[in-house]
A and B are shown apart, each in its own frame.
Chain A
Amino acid sequence: DGGITQSPKYLFRKEGQNVTLSCEQNLNHDAMYWYRQDPGQGLRLIYYSQIVNDFQKGDIAEGYSVSREKKESFPLTVTSAQKNPTAFYLCASSRGTDSPLHFGNGTRLTVT
């Protein structure tokens, strides 16, 4: 059954610790994306990757890092430099130009 898997669903971390969110897809999509959702602000683009070993910053990349070593995987690291890391994080993939995004079910990160 094809889709996008984000794990874990809930994640708790102490302030000052880096944390990595997992995103795996078996849709054979070239492009992958990370968004952050905060109440009343919709989805904001953090990073996206159109091909393996290449990625671009979105609108709110500061304090985040990504890698794209495999087509299927696009992990997001939330570093201690991110001022407000508590949020709902969504990973997505697409075939490419003019194609809808397919989303995972998200990871809710809470940093205290």
Chain B
Amino acid sequence: DQQVKQNSPSLSVQEGRISILNCDYTNSMFDYFLWYKKYPAEGPTFLISISSIKDKNEDGRFTVFLNKSAKHLSLHIVPSQPGDSAVYFCAASIGENNDMRFGAGTRLTVKP
């Protein structure tokens, strides 16, 4: 049973516009959430994280929003750049175990 879900397999946006990637989770015990970026034939690289005590975390062009009541998080990229084109994974973990569960990924394409 997939505990972390990314329901949009792909997203295409124009350069300079906002990209919004969404993620839903089912396990209310998750308390640490992350976004990773991945290029083909490489390992994912960490982008940004948020703990369950916050509802927003910002790092440059990247902002993660967490809505605990809806069990939903999103990643906003503003402005989007062609170099942002990659597969984005959301992930979540519970406390001490840090045994992270990942969504299926969303392929973002930013068109020049």
Contacts and interface: CB of A to CB of B under 8 A. Distances in A.
Interface of A: 4, 31, 33, 35, 40-45, 48, 50, 56, 58-59, 90, 92, 94, 96-106, 108
Contacts, number: 65
Nearest to B48: A100
Nearest to A91: B43
Interface residues of B, number: 28
B59 interface: no
A43 B44 contact: yes
B98 A106 contact: no
Interface of B: 4, 6, 9, 31-32, 34, 41-46, 49, 51, 89, 91, 93, 95-105
Would you list the 5 A-B pairs with minimal beta carbon distance, nearest first?
A103-B43, A42-B104, A100-B46, A43-B102, A42-B102
30 contacts: A40-B9, A41-B104, A42-B102, A42-B103, A43-B91, A43-B102, A44-B102, A45-B101, A56-B97, A59-B101, A90-B44, A94-B98, A96-B96, A97-B98, A98-B31, A98-B32, A98-B51, A99-B98, A100-B34, A100-B46, A100-B49, A101-B44, A101-B46, A101-B100, A102-B46, A104-B43, A105-B42, A106-B41, A106-B43, A108-B41
Contacts of A41: 104
A20 B43 CA distance: 19
